[in-house]
Each structure stands twice: as structure tokens, then as C-alpha cells.
Amino acid sequence: MAVNVINVAVIALLSDADAAEFLKGYSAGNLIFSLTLTMVMSQSALSAGLRKSFLVALCFFAFLFLALGETTWIIGFIYPLSLLLLDYSISQGAAASSHIRFRTAGIASAVVLIFGWGLIAGIEVRTAILISMAFYILFRSDGLTQLKIKKTVPFLASIYLCYSGVLYVLPRIGLSAETLKVWYVCAQVSLVLQLKILDFESRGTASISPAISTVLTLSAIALLLIAQILYPSLVAFSLASAGLVGLFAARRVFVSH
């Protein structure tokens, strides 16, 4: 959850000049890489070694892409990949037994965001750090375990449309920079609250109580209502609400218990 707080803070602190370009890259990267990694990690036909090799290849791709272009869009595009690589290498690899230590180190890397070289440059440096950490963890792992998901294609379609799809469309509906940042933050937090419950249940490495699940769901709904009151946008509200309902339905239908 601390990782998501950092991401929200990053988006909130973006300058109006950088917000649209960064969020377009971020939403595209999140959409592509979250789908790709979930597909790979949930395939029973792939061995643990092949899953590891795929993530190692993605680490090299991310470093290369980051080195070849330093535009705001590219940094936004690779940033979510670095977060996903570290997350999967910890939860599905050898680091699962000591995940607190590695997750704490990942969170601590956010300190580079406050250095005087600017927020976008700080995000670029943090991205490189997170990819390096993921590579180190993967190097220590024999392989990566499979995600527990019942119906991969329908499940991925739900996540694709309801979470990544919503965040992809939001920067492209013509909102002003200030309104876009507010709605993007509120929609992301709201959807993440529901997605985290689904994520815990699908990985099979942790559990969450029904009471906490209910509180998180109600909090997600309340956040969208507050955003609509403060920065009214029927399109943004409808989009985020549809995503929230879709994720709730996906939890009930597709995740193994």
C-alpha cells in the first residue's frame, strides 16, 4: 500500500506541463505490462524457469528503453514496468520469504524523488533502481511460482478494461491539467483498493478478512463521490465507477478461494 501512496504523491506533484505527457506514457505502460506479466505469470504451461527468464529479459528491455530515450512519455511508460518487475520478483520468487526487507528497500528508493534534479529526473533514477533490485532478486531465484487464477483470458479482459483501461482513457478525455491529476489520483486509488483485494486473493500468498474487504470497497466508492463533488466530470465519474464495479465482479467470478 505504501508503494501506491508514493505513486499517488508522484502524480499529484507533477507540474501541469508534464502531467498529460507523463500520464499518457504511464497509463500505456501500465496497460501493456500489467496484462503481459499477468498472462505470463498465470500460465501453467510455462515452467518456473521460463517465467524467470521472461522477467530477466524485460529487465534488459527496460534498461535499454530508458537509456535510448529520456522523454517524459518514455519515463512514464517504463516506470510502471519497474514497479511490476519488482513486485513479481518479490512475491513469486525467492524473495517471498523475506518480502518485507525487499519491499522496504523499494519504498526507500523513493527518497531520490526529493533530490534537487527535478521530479521527472528523480522518477527516472528510481525506475533504474527498481529494475536493478528486480534483476538482483531474479538472479537469486531458481524460478517464479504461478499465479492462482481460474479463467485467465476472461480475468485478464476484466482487469484490462476495468483498471488499466480506465487509467488509459482518463488522460485522453480532454480534462484540464489540474482536473486530470485529481481524477487520475482518485480513480487510481479507488481502483487499487479493489484491485489489491483481488491481487492478494489471486496470488494465494496472503489473505484479507471480509471486514477489511468491505471497508476498502466503501472507501473506494466514497473517494469517487468526493472527486465528483470537488471536480465534477460526468465522463470521468462514469468511467471510474464502471471500472470499480467491474473489478468487484471479477473478484466474485474469477479468483480461486
Which one has a higher pLDDT value, 167 or 1?
A: 167
Given a cut of 90, whether residue 225 has pLDDT beyond it is yes
Backbone angles phi, psi at 149, to 5 degrees: -135, 135
Helix ranges, the chain (H): 2-13, 16-42, 48-68, 72-91, 99-108, 119-140, 152-159, 165-169, 177-203, 210-230, 234-254
Backbone angles phi, psi at 255, to 5 degrees: -90, 135
pLDDT of residue 116: 65
pLDDT of 70-97, one tens digit each? 799 999 999 999 999 999 988 887 655 5
Given a cut of 80, whether residue 220 has pLDDT beyond it is yes
Global confidence as pTM: 0.82
pLDDT of 42-74, one tens digit each? 888 888 899 999 999 999 999 998 888 779 999
pLDDT of residue 242: 94
Mean pLDDT, rounded, for 100-125: 84
Q: Output the average pLDDT for the chain.
A: 86
